[in-house]
Amino acid sequence: MKRPITIHDIAKLAEVSSATVSRVLSGSDYPVSAATREKIQRIAKESNYIPNMLGKQLKTNSSMTIGVIIPSISNPFYSSVILGIEGIARQKGFHVIVCNSLHDAALEQEYLKTIAEKQVKGLIISSIGSDQAMLQKLMDTGMKVIAIDQKVDGEGISQIEFDYRKGGYMATKHLQSMGHRKIGYVTSQLDRPSRRSIYQGYEEAMRELDLEPLTAESAEDDVYNSLNEFNMGKKLAGKLLEAVHPPTAIFACNDVMAFGVINELSLRGLQVPRDMSVIGFDGIEYGQMIHPPLTTIKQPDYEMGRMACSMLLDLLNGETKPVYDVVLQPQLLERSSVADVQSKP
């Protein structure tokens, strides 16, 4: 294994100083005569020179890298966010390091540390932990942070979030507008702020019409895994059906859970939407692949990624924009899992 080529090797071959080589190869605008410039470039190519970013970054103290911490890429919602981030980042010459916290607060902390050690100056995080002490410390050292999806309260953190409350409200209102009055809500544990917000929206819409909320909340904590979520949906749907006054429509806190609800219903001989309407939340692509296509509340995930990345890069460019929160609006995706039951016979 031969030692990798450095600018010094090239300098020797080209009979110039390494400074000149650096100036040419780093794309600096420092004046270098066309002749030597060409010579250096030729030799670099011929010798398969690969610049060592570690050296460069150590010197310049800028890694052109942003970190992203999300629960898991196996969640299509987050993988979409990441694709959005990457698109913008690549366009600006930045690289992205993705870390899956897997709903493990300790792991999240660990990744936070790793990112700091790698001298990453910008971070986009959908935090699942509650301990923002470490995050604050990093920000004190100059790291720029954008929180997405999950609210992080800390000074100087720009947030970009969805209007979850409104999404919950919209979903419920849509069901009501279709004539439903007994509307059940199935949700995983209401421990994360986002989930509570959706619930609030649901509750608010119900209260407006003096309707009683009917909620089935999972008791289990979060082993994030879509199959789990699916099964949870099944279980909770079962619970709702066994209530004294079963609902005519079910609102699930995410699409995969809605898949579970639909599955459980069909197992019990109930047809969607004829016998029961179902509405989901998130707007993942698979929603339109099932039968019936799932009516749902779409969160602009991809756009969120793009916006988060743009904001972060602005911050890194030293544009001293004020810290601000962006609230992205949900959108009703009307497909075929909700029936209109208000037509009087």
Q: Cβ of residue 23: shortest distance to DNA, in angstroms?
A: 5
The answer to whether residue 17 forms part of the interface with DNA (CB under 7 A) is yes
77 interacts with a copy of itself by CB under 8 A: no
- CB-based contact 1:17 (threshold 8 Å): no
**Of residues 98-137, which lie at the interface with a copy of itself (CB under 8 A)?**
98, 100, 113-114, 116-119, 137
For 296, list phi and psi in degrees, rounded to 5.
-160, 170
Q: Give CA–CA dist 224/256, Å, rounded.
A: 12
Nearest to 336 by CA among 272, 286, 246: 272
> Rounded to the nearest whole angstrom, what is the least distance from the CB of residue 344 to a copy of itself in the complex?
30
The amino acid at residue 261 is V
Cα gap 131→112, rounded to integer Å: 12
Among 160, 164, 228, which residue's Cα sits nearest to residue 194?
Answer: 164
Q: Which of 86, 203, 264, 282 binds a copy of itself (CB under 8 A)?
A: 86
From the list DNA, a copy of itself, none, pick the one residue 262 interacts with, judged by a Cβ distance below 5 to 8 Å according to partner type: a copy of itself
Residues 45-64 that bind a copy of itself (CB under 8 A): 48, 50-55, 57-58, 63
Q: Which residues pair with 69 in a beta bridge?
A: 99, 125
Q: Which of 2, 12, 13, 20 binds DNA (CB under 7 A)?
A: 20
Q: Which of 12, 13, 32, 292 binds DNA (CB under 7 A)?
A: 32
State in angstroms the smallest separation of the CB of 132 from a copy of itself.
Answer: 15
CA 170 to the chain's CA centroid: 21
Continuous H helices in the chain: 7-14, 18-25, 34-46, 53-60, 76-91, 105-117, 133-140, 164-177, 193-208, 226-241, 255-267, 301-316
289 binds, among a copy of itself, DNA, none (CB under 5 to 8 A by kind): a copy of itself
C-alpha distances out from residue 157 to 112, 189, 204, 277, 323, Å: 15, 26, 29, 40, 7
Instruction: For residue 165, give every residue at least 6 positions away whose Cβ sits within 8 Å of its Cβ, in sequence order, or none.
Output: 197, 198, 200, 201, 204
Per CB under 8 A, the list member of 109, 132, 263, 310 interacting with a copy of itself is 263
Please give the residue ranges that form the binding site for DNA (CB under 7 A): 3-4, 6-8, 15-20, 22-23, 25-26, 28, 30-33, 35-37, 51-52, 54-56, 58-61
Residues near a copy of itself (CB under 8 A) are 1-2, 4, 48, 50-55, 57-58, 63, 72-74, 76, 79-80, 82-83, 86, 95, 97-98, 100, 113-114, 116-119, 137, 141-142, 226-227, 230, 256, 259-260, 262-263, 266, 285-286, 288-291
